[in-house]
């Protein structure tokens, strides 16, 4: 794993940073189809003077950009991670692709006008099952101990064993203006810093316990234990759950964003179905929770 174009010239910049920092090195999402996906970066054996941050941004329905920045917020490396699931739902395949023209168009001037360093070619990682992980080597900076790689962990939790996060959706049922709209009772709970659900024909509804910066969330609702009420687009919604919705409080305010055009895509978000019935994929209620809104928004 050798330095890609533009990495070596970063060494002098990074040496000037004060102390080791690697904020947001991991990103996790849990889905109501029982899948939990975690992407985590490793630095190798840094000398202690480097400063990097890593972020995740949605690229398409089944792929994400992993973006590494220096202390000047310039991108030192980026690539696209694609997630695919086998027809039977038990195997996951990850492909690491170079960040190409679409990335450059979406993030202009990411490296002060220079081409952003990326993978030299596409890499297909080994197929993994629940409890396993796949790894991809990214870049290194000689003399600084930086040998950066990403590991992708997959866990299938039929009983929703993941804990933590501020918002939790367990067996939620949704009504609109007093009329039942959608819901689920048999899928796994989801829990995270942010949560969302998708209603066929209505789009995606995204929730936060505070106002996310740079997003058009509205303080539109409140939670009382296992009941969430919110008003948006001149409609009154009520969400009832099988367990308390807020992880650390019985009640609180909720910020809401509604995207009527949102629809989950990528077969890893679909319900885990027997291979024989997988061809009949349904457009159905879907819930998820994550530590970053960038799992869903472009």
Q: What pLDDT digit, counting tens, does each position of 65-98 carry?
A: 999 998 888 999 999 999 998 877 788 999 999 9
What is the C-alpha separation between 10 and 17, in angstroms, rounded?
11
What is the C-alpha separation between 80 and 93, in angstroms, rounded?
14
State both tokens at 192: 């995270």
Number of Cβ within 10 Å of residue 290's Cβ equals: 23
Q: Would you say residue 256 has pLDDT above 90?
A: yes
Residues 136-169 have pLDDT tens digits of: 999 887 777 778 999 999 998 766 555 566 999 9
Q: What percent of the chain has pLDDT above 70?
A: 83
Report which of residues 71 and 221 the model is more confident about: 221
Please report the pLDDT score of residue 3 as a whole number.
43
Torsion from C-alpha of 163, 128, 204, 246, nearest 10 degrees: 0
Identify how many contiguous H helices and E strands the chain contains and give both numbers. Answer: 2, 21
Give the pTM.
0.84
What is the C-alpha separation between 28 and 164, in angstroms, rounded?
11
Residue 24 — very low, low, confident or very high, per pLDDT cuts 50/70/90? low
């Amino acid at each position: 794993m050798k330095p890609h174009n533009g990495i070596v010239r970063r060494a002098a910049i990074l040496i000037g940073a004060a102390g080791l920092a690697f904020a947001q090195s991991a990103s996790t999402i849990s889905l109501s189809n029982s899948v939990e996906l975690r992407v985590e970066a490793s630095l190798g054996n840094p000398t202690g003077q480097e400063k990097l941050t890593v972020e995740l941004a949605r690229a398409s329905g089944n792929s994400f950009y992993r973006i590494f920045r220096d202390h000047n917020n310039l991108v030192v490396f980026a690539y696209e991670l694609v997630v695919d699931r086998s027809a039977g739902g038990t195997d996951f395949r990850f492909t690491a692709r170079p960040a190409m023209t679409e990335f450059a168009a979406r993030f202009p001037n990411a490296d002060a006008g220079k081409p952003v360093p990326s993978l030299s070619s596409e890499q297909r990682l080994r197929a993994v099952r629940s409890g396993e992980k796949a790894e991809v080597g990214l870049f290194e900076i000689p003399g600084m101990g930086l040998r950066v790689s990403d590991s992708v962990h997959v866990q299938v939790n039929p009983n929703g064993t993941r804990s933590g996060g501020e918002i939790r959706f367990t067996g939620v049922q949704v009504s609109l203006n007093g009329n039942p709209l959608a819901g689920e009772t048999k899928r796994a709970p989801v829990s995270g810093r942010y949560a969302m659900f998708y209603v066929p024909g209505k789009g995606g509804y995204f929730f936060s316990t505070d106002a996310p910066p740079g997003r058009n969330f509205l303080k539109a609702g409140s939670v009382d234990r296992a009941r969430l009420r919110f008003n948006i687009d001149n409609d009154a919604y009520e969400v009832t759950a099988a367990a308390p919705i807020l992880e650390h409080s019985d009640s609180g305010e909720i910020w809401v964003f509604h995207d009527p055009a949102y629809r989950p895509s990528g077969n890893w978000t679909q319900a885990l179905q027997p291979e024989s019935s997988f061809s009949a994929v349904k457009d159905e209620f879907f819930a998820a929770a994550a530590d970053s809104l960038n799992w869903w928004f472009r």
